[in-house]
């Protein structure tokens, strides 16, 4: 019950913040609150992702590179994480349990990694298990490339669909004119894998030798929210757009969401990006 109250509170706060730009986007809130707020975990520094374990304890990622297990009011730091590239918006990012976690113990997390030949870092996906407050059986499932020293738009969220496929997001890493519209490059994409990191045979670009076969959608800017619709099973994403250009999208196989060719937003300096607000194939 406390988990439900906590998640409801977070959702309402996020809606208030994201919709506060224009009067015509105002959220019509009830006159009386139907919940109360309670401090649940104190003294966190930029918490990014949470996963609720079957025993009602919580795994919490902090962007700086800490993975915390919170149980019975006590925070325990989990050891054995990979090296985390903590720069700008990058660091230790989302965390998600395998749908059959109680049977197999797998947890999945995204993080910025320096692995690769170039300077800087890029978003990675890893799975591991926890034993004695340490990560074991670590498997790197995906590492985006090339690295860059730019500090923005790493993504990243993780979600499983009803068929057990894993989706995760990577932002366009500040290269809006290079990455999002190019399926041979990482960044500005939603990716789809099997739970072991292998590529599903029905991914939209597996037959294109020049494409990254894990890509499921492209033309994304910086998807930092992802959730499964509990009624339809569809994967929904929230994209942080430019000024005035945030979006909520439903993930569709092979879809191009248009960035940066199409957007309602403008540059933060006030200059236009494009006059197009609708994408047609």
User: What distance in Å separates the CA atoms of residue 41 and residue 259, rounded to the nearest whole number?
Assistant: 37
CA separation, residue 222 to residues 42, 117, 273 (Å): 28, 24, 16
User: What distance in Å separates the CA atoms of residue 264 and residue 241, rounded to the nearest whole number?
Assistant: 9
Is residue 122 part of the annotated active site? The answer reads no
Whether residue 258 contacts residue 176, with contact meaning beta carbons closer than 8 Å, is answered with: no
CA separation, residue 132 to residues 56, 126, 180 (Å): 18, 19, 41
User: What distance in Å separates the CA atoms of residue 131 and residue 142, rounded to the nearest whole number?
Assistant: 23
| Tokens matching residue 155 | 């993504």
User: Which is catalytic among the residues 28, 69, 98, 153?
Assistant: 153
Task: Give the residue numbers marked as catalytic.
Answer: 153
């Amino acid at each position: 019950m406390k988990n439900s109250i906590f998640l409801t509170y977070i959702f309402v706060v996020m809606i208030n913040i994201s919709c506060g730009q224009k009067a015509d986007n105002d959220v019509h809130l009830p006159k009386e609150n139907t919940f109360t707020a309670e401090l649940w975990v104190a003294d966190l520094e930029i918490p990014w992702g949470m996963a609720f374990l079957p025993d009602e304890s919580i795994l919490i990622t902090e962007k700086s590179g800490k993975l915390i297990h919170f149980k019975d009011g006590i925070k325990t730091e989990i050891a054995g994480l990979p090296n985390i590239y903590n720069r700008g918006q990058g660091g230790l990012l989302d965390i998600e349990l395998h749908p059959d976690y109680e049977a197999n113990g797998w947890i999945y997390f995204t993080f910025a990694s320096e692995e690769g030949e170039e300077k800087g870092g890029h978003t990675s996906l890893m799975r591991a298990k926890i034993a004695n407050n340490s990560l074991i059986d670590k498997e790197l499932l995906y590492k985006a490339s090339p690295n860059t020293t730019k500090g923005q738009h790493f993504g990243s969220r993780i979600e499983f669909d009803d068929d057990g496929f894993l989706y995760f997001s990577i932002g366009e890493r500040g290269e809006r004119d290079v990455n999002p519209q190019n399926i041979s490059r990482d960044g500005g994409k939603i990716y789809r894998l099997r739970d072991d990191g292998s590529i599903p045979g029905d991914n939209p670009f597996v037959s294109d030798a020049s494409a990254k076969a894990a890509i499921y959608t492209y033309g994304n800017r910086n998807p930092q929210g992802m959730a499964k619709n509990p009624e339809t099973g569809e994967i929904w994403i929230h994209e942080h757009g430019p000024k005035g250009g945030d979006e909520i999208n439903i993930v569709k196989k092979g879809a191009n969401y248009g960035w940066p060719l199409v957007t309602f937003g403008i540059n933060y300096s006030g200059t236009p990006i494009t006059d197009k607000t609708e994408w047609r194939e």
